[in-house]
Amino acid sequence: MDTTSRVLKLPEAPREFALWIDGRPVAAEDREIYTRHSPAHDVPVTRIPMGTAEDLDTAVAAARRAFDDRRWSGLSGADRAAVLLRAADGIRARAEELAYWETLENGKPIAQARAEVGGCPGMYEYAAGVARSLHGDSFNNLGDGMMGLVTREPIGVVGIITPWNFPFLILNERVPYILAAGCTMVAKPSEFTSATSLILGEVLAEAGVPEGVFNVVPGLGPVVGQAMAEHTDIDMLSFTGSTRTGRGLLSAAGSNFKKLGLELGGKNPQIVFADADLEDAADGVAFGIGFNAGQCCVSGSRLIVERSVAAEFADMVAAKLARVRVGDPLDETTQVGAVTTEAQNDTILRYIAQGRDEGAELVAGGAPVDLGRGQFIAPTIFAGVTREMAIAREEIFGPVLTVMPFDSLDEAIAIANDTDYGLAASVWTKNLDTALTVTRRVQAGRFWVNTTLAGGPELPIGGFKQSGWGREAGVYGVEEYTQVKSVHIELDKRDPWIS
């Protein structure tokens, strides 16, 4: 690959991958092979072996051995931190390779992929600090004869199911924190975007993560994902994906009452008041719906804007989106790349058609972008949207923005909360009272004031309502993968029960 050119070259042949189990690659042999075609170029780019339920059993057994013999959980926080810091360096050393394969499989712009990969080492560095500082509590108030301790212990073997929209980023919003807690794990990436998860196995092994601690079994959701949810030797399952699939995992996880961490769908509001810096807000709203071609669970897909500026502001956003560069994701100047899967492409176009049929006014976009190959959709804006319309209520997972005006702060909050979801929200205003009131009353797990889609390893992520439960990242994200134990210590001679 030529990293100095403005447009990176396609690979001459698809790259062959293997499963990653017990610290080593496991060759495809007679397993079914999924050949992934670039959604932007219509050419084969990777060949991924599809794991089976038996492969999952093998990986879980390796993770269980690694947990039970304490080769990882028995290390000090300082020793685990040292490995995490080496992993951060390993990701930096292979960042260009990781971004390249992420772009080829996913269709996102190479500049975006580089930024996402570039942010991941910081997660390991932050988690390394938490590994050293994680602690429990003590109770010295139980009288002279008793002392109490509260300890945190790793929960055990963790299963991770990640989606195709942010394959490397979402995985690394979990892995370093799970490792910091002392757990072992098995990851199942989407069959569409498995390459970077498998490369991570090599990076972690080189950093000193012991055999069996991190395993990757690519495969189909109904095969590997379902088996993972039902597996009685997995202690916790972290799933990122649709609310529909998350709901189905609830009953499957009852096999051993495993703990669940769920980051699910969103229909996220961007609330814009007339006193906002409208130029900044227009750019932020355009970014919030165009980023990753709208294939983002925290995408700002509902624009709720004060009526006095609603028409002007919608035109400002439309003008911004008209200048967005939709194109080849291997072109370093591209801002919006391809839609990742054919099924998702069809879904987005179906919602756009439904919006027209429901009577919404098409302000911008609304059609595929023909580049001669691949699947691309122009960022789309609908005005005249009512709360009952499907495009206002259902997660489209594409670059489709709905515009709804409001007349009062209370109405803005009511519209924002009128959804089954509660994953993220943004407010744009220069009034501190307004910003804090909206932040406190809108039901969302992540909130941005005068910005959107910002973040870092320090702050937790997760949702309210049908957007899931549990938290990833930050100190909370390490604690999520621990169990709390109460310890009572008798200091004096026991008062006899039997005299």
Which tokens in the block code for residue 418?
């009128």
Q: Are 477 and 493 in contact (CB under 8 A)?
A: no
Helix or strand run (H / E) with residue 239: strand 236-240
- Which residue in the block uniquely carries the two structure tokens 């009572």? 488
Give residues with Cβ within 8 angstroms of 499, minimum separation 6: none
Chain center to CA of 391: 23
List the one residue out of 469, 39, 6 whose CA is nearest residue 295: 39
Kindly write down the DSSP assignment for every residue of 334-355, as one continuous string: -SB---S-HHHHHHHHHHHHHH
Phi, then psi, of 110 in degrees rounded to 5: -60, -35
How far, in Å, CA of 199 to CA of 37, rounded? 18
Strand 259-263 and strand 236-240: the pairing is: parallel
Q: How far is the C-alpha of 185 from the C-alpha of 191, rounded, in Å? A: 18
What type of residue sits at position 239? F
On whether the CB atoms of residues 80 and 131 are closer than 8 A, the answer is yes
d(CA 150, CA 328) in angstroms, rounded, equals 54
| DSSP class of 325 | -
For residue 60, how far is the Cα from the chain centroid? 23
Catalytic residue among 120, 183, 296, 297: 297
312 classed as catalytic: no
Q: How far is CA 165 from CA 102, 103, 265, 276, 337, in A?
A: 10, 11, 12, 31, 12
Closest Cα partner for 339 from 356, 323, 351? 351
The separation between CA 288 and the C-alpha centre of its own chain, rounded to angstroms, equals 15
- Asked about 97 being catalytic, the answer comes back as no
Which helix (H) or strand (E) element contains residue 415? Answer: helix 409-417
Instruction: Exactly one of 173, 263, 472, 480 is catalytic; name it.
Output: 263
3-class SS of residue 414? helix
Q: Which residues are catalytic?
A: 263, 297
